[in-house]
């Protein structure tokens, strides 16, 4: 998993409308990149809704919020419409950003071991360098913790 002080790997991935989103295009602004396992699951939905509720506070601070999972563009579009998500959701089925940030890891669920996305959040500074990492982000408090950190 990327550590504080590391330059985040650049990526260009499609958003919920199929438009390309390039991470480096946001240089000059802080960026919150959060990785989550799957659209429309209870924890991921709560986390996305918490970011949506806090979206105006992020916008006032000129902070970009990007949510990333390996779900399809179509899945992201439905997810965003259903919960009125105002921030950027990008689709990463080839695990480009997911592996680049080091969040594709072994997970244990009911004793079964599998590979998957570890719910994690990164705050990138204006130069695209990792400023803060939330390695095991909690769905209900992650957005508030980030806002508190940003002051």
Over residues 89-105, the pLDDT tens digits come to 999 999 999 999 999 99
- Beta strands 104-109 and 88-91, pairing class: unpaired
pLDDT band for 108, please (50, 70, 90 cuts): confident
pLDDT at position 110 is 85
Once rounded to an integer, what is the mean pLDDT over residues 12-24?
98
Mark whether 44 is an active-site residue.
yes
Check: pTM over 0.85? Answer yes or no. Answer: yes
CATH number of 12-150: 3.40.30.10
Once rounded to an integer, what is the mean pLDDT over residues 41-58?
97
Q: How far apart are CA 64 and CA 50, in angstroms?
A: 15
pLDDT at position 143 is 97
User: One of 44, 48, 66, 97 is an active-site residue; which one?
Assistant: 44
Per-residue model confidence as pLDDT tens digits over 130-142: 999 999 899 999 9
């Amino acid at each position: 998993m990327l550590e504080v002080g590391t330059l985040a790997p650049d990526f260009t991935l499609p958003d919920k409308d199929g438009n390309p989103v390039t991470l480096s295009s946001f240089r000059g602004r802080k960026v919150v990149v959060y990785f989550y396992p799957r659209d429309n699951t209870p924890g991921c939905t709560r986390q996305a809704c918490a970011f949506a509720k806090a979206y105006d506070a992020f916008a006032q601070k000129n902070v970009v919020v990007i949510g990333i999972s390996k779900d399809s563009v179509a899945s992201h579009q439905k997810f965003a419409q259903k919960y009125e998500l105002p921030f950027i959701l990008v689709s990463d089925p080839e695990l480009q950003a997911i592996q680049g940030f080091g969040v594709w890891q072994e997970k244990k669920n009911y004793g079964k071991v599998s590979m998957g996305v570890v719910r994690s959040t990164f705050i990138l500074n204006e130069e695209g360098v990792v400023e803060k990492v939330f390695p095991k982000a909690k769905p209900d408090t992650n957005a508030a913790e980030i806002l508190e950190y940003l002051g």
